[in-house]
Amino acid sequence: MTRSVARTVVCAVAADEAERAAHHRVRRAVFVDEQGIFAGDDLDSHDARDDVLHVVARVGEDVVGTVRLFPLDPADPAGTWQGDRLAVLAAARTAGAGAPLVRFAVATAAVRGGRRMVAHVQPANRRFFEHLGWTARETEDYAGRPHVFMTIALARDHQAPVLDEPGT
Ligand SMILES: CC(C)(COP(=O)(O)OP(=O)(O)OC[C@H]1O[C@@H](n2cnc3c(N)ncnc32)[C@H](O)[C@@H]1OP(=O)(O)O)[C@@H](O)C(=O)NCCC(=O)NCCS
């Protein structure tokens, strides 16, 4: 009998140049090469900010996913945070990396004092976010394409983020 072994997904803020480079490779693979939302690279001014957190999801040694988060107002980390650049490599999807990345971003923003998190979500992912407790507010144009503006309240009593979850 064949037995499938659950792989553990570990999410962490990129801690060094190598992890940041891996984070950017995944983003480029998904948003430039696969989706064609950006030409060349998907870097923007937020990537240069010191207070922007670049997160990686690993399965074993492999970085398979990313998310980025930051306070919308750098002077107000107790206010609204944005999560974006959520990406899982095509070959690693529906194996339990995307949900932990979103939960990690929410928990991290909460632990750092944020009150609310917002995201500009591709319509195809609205249900995915709703399943994780987010609320759709309005449709909008973002990065030249239709998106859904979604929000989630950040719990004041949030524990430090859970770093890993079994993949399925
Ligand atoms: C959206 C994305 C990050 C999801 O990552 P993933 O690793 O496939 O997600 P998970 O495996 O953790 O999925 C968790 C659950 O949500 C479901 N799910 C995944 N994508 C979904 C979607 N678009 N709509 C509805 N449900 C979805 C999964 O089937 C799974 O369900 P289960 O718990 O019943 O098994 C991934 O599809 C992706 O990178 N897409 C391309 C880039 C992108 O669209 N980024 C988001 C921009 S808003």
The average confidence (pLDDT) of the chain is: 91
Say if ligand 1 is within 6 A of residue 143 CB. Answer: no
Please name which of 60, 45, 68 lies closest in space to residue 95, comparing C-alpha atoms: 60
Mapping DSSP onto H, E and C, the string for the chain reads CCCCCCCEEEEEECCCHHHHHHHHHHHHHHHHHHCCCCCCCCCCHHHHCCCCEEEEEEECCEEEEEEEEEECCCCCCCCEEEEEEEEECHHHCCCCCHHHHHHHHHHHHHHCCCCEEEEEECHHHHHHHHHCCCEEEEEEEECCEEEEEEEEECCCCCCCCCCEEECC
Best substitution site from 64, 68, 84, 94 to test ligand 1's pocket, by max atoms within 8 Å of Cβ?
94
Structural domains of the chain, ranges and CATH numbers in brackets: 8-166 (3.40.630.30)
Give me the amino acid identity at 82.
Q
The verdict on the CB of residue 97 being under 6 Å from ligand 1 is yes
C-beta 125 within 6 A of ligand 1: yes
Q: How far is CA 86 from CA 2, 4, 65, 145, 157, in A?
A: 33, 27, 7, 16, 25
Summarize pLDDT for 26-83 with one digit per residue, the tens.
999 999 999 999 999 999 999 999 999 999 999 999 999 999 999 999 999 999 999 9
Give the residue carrying structure tokens 């970085």: 63
Q: Which of 21-30, 85-94, 149-158 has the lowest mean pLDDT?
A: 149-158
Binding site membership of 107 for ligand 1 (Cβ less than 6 Å)? no
Q: Is 91 in the pocket of ligand 1 (CB under 6 A)?
A: no
What does pTM read for this prediction?
A: 0.92
- Ligand 1 lined by 126 (C-beta under 6 Å): no
